[in-house]
Structure 1
Amino acid sequence: MDFTLNGKGGYTKTESYDDETTNKLVEHYAETIKLLGEDVNREGLEKTPLRVAKAMQFLTQGYQMDPEEIIKSAMFKEDYQQMVVVKDIEIYSMCEHHMLPFFGKAHIAYIPKQHITGLSKLARVAEAFSRRLQVQERLTTQIKEAIQNTLNPLGVAVVIEAQHMCMQMRGVQKQHSVTTTSDFTGAFLNSHSTREEFFNIIAGKLH
């Protein structure tokens, strides 16, 4: 999905989807709606299979992204060996067990050794992995590993806090539960003080 200048001072949304994939998904979602007991031909549902087919492709677009290449696209040599933290990165993902959303915030930090990357690339890495069928535990580790493997820093820290609709809408139905996962390498794993500094930063209000 892209946004292009329309010449009138505004932007027009343009969407691009694979036609073959879209058509197959439309067939499956139409059949699913019928199996649930609805009339797929009534006015309110007539275009729903197409809308869902496009929505699901958008929500899982991370499969088309290479997180390590995202980092490499803005990778620079820099003599800086202090903590770099990007916190409160919004994430939206789909639980692979029930295909219901989970959403929240990711906090990412690394300590450069020789290379840094553009700050927005850390958010894009989180986006690339979250826009897939996921579990929060794997998502946390995948973000960590992509940064560690690409930048080879002195350490990486990732913490994700998320609410899961599979817990809130079905099953146990606990409305205010938040799941927190974390993963660390290097200095964040081996140094209590470094890890504590990271937690203080993401918990604090510096802005």
Structure 2
Amino acid sequence: MDRARVEAAVRDLLAGIGEDPDRPGLERTPQRVADAYTEFFHGLDLDATQIARDGTVPADDGERGDLVVVRDIRFRSVCEHHLLPFLGTAHLAYAPGERLIGLGTLARVVEALASRPQLQERLGEQVVAAVQDGLEARGVLVVLDAQHQCVTTRGERQTGSTTVTVAASGILSEAAGRAEAIALIGAGTGNGTAAAADAGHGTDA
């Protein structure tokens, strides 16, 4: 990231809204924003598919099972339309093939892809693609449930609104596999996420 350009842009932004970027309280704001953006967007330098691939191990006979579900992976991202954060929870399911993936690796994949300017719909599709390609799974399903500050803090200010999206591949994009995965996710969330997903909201990878 070009910190100097970010800091200069923040100074211009502050001046553009009628503020004095050199007044006490704002004089270090450009550096603080650059620090925050370094954290928010560090995923631009990461290869999520390689992260997934590096976190896999061969599955011995009798180890792989039919379906693996990881619930409640917290993430934060930044909406590319308004550069405002959206915060949420990811639930992942995959049908193993010849390899298994470390459960912590799935969280790292989500983090890498969320840490860049994003759309929630695309984020789900990218997580599915990274896990599918890195793991060579028979199917992957991702449910994202997030609250967007561009909805909660501007316009109609729907402070209780969340958005649910679904992306899936392989056998988990088929009706039976999708229903089983969403049912298992919903068994532990208790917050309506799975019901909304099952109603058909979201996109398929």
Compute the TM-score of the two structures, normalised by the length of structure 2: 0.86
* Of 77, 84, 91, the match for 1:100: 84
2:94 is aligned with 1:118: no
Query: Shift of residue 154 of structure 1?
Result: 1.3
Query: After superposition, where does 1:20-35 map in structure 2 within 5 Å?
Result: 21-35=2-16
2:78 and 2:129 map into 1 onto residues whose CA distance is 20
2:114 and 2:25 map into 1 onto residues whose CA distance is 30
* Of 176, 180, 186, the match for 2:160: 176
2:138 is aligned with 1:159: no
Query: Shift of residue 189 of structure 1?
Result: 1.6
1:98 and 1:179 map into 2 onto residues whose CA distance is 16
* Of 165, 177, 183, the match for 1:200: 183
Aligned to 1:41: 22
Q: Which residue type is aligned with residue 40 of structure 1?
A: P
SS of the residue corresponding to residue 121 of structure 1 reads helix
Structure number with bigger Rg: 1
2:49 and 2:172 map into 1 onto residues whose CA distance is 21
Deviations 1:79-131 (A, max 9, x none): 31421111110110111111111111000111111011111111111111111
Aligned to 1:72: 53
Paired positions, count:
186
Q: Is there any run of 5+ residues in structure 2 with no aligned partner, and where?
A: 190-205
Query: Shift of residue 200 of structure 1?
Result: 2.2
Identity of matched residues, %: 38
1:154 and 1:26 map into 2 onto residues whose CA distance is 46
1:36 and 1:185 map into 2 onto residues whose CA distance is 45
Q: Which residue type is aligned with residue 33 of structure 1?
A: L
2:152 and 2:81 map into 1 onto residues whose CA distance is 14
Aligned to 2:196: none
* Of 107, 117, 122, the match for 1:138: 122
1:172 and 1:133 map into 2 onto residues whose CA distance is 23
SS of the residue corresponding to residue 188 of structure 2 reads coil
Q: Which residue type is aligned with residue 15 of structure 2?
A: K
Aligned structure 1 segments of 4 or more residues deviating by more than 2 angstroms: 194-197
Q: Which residue type is aligned with residue 182 of structure 2?
A: F
Compute the TM-score of the two structures, normalised by the length of structure 1: 0.85
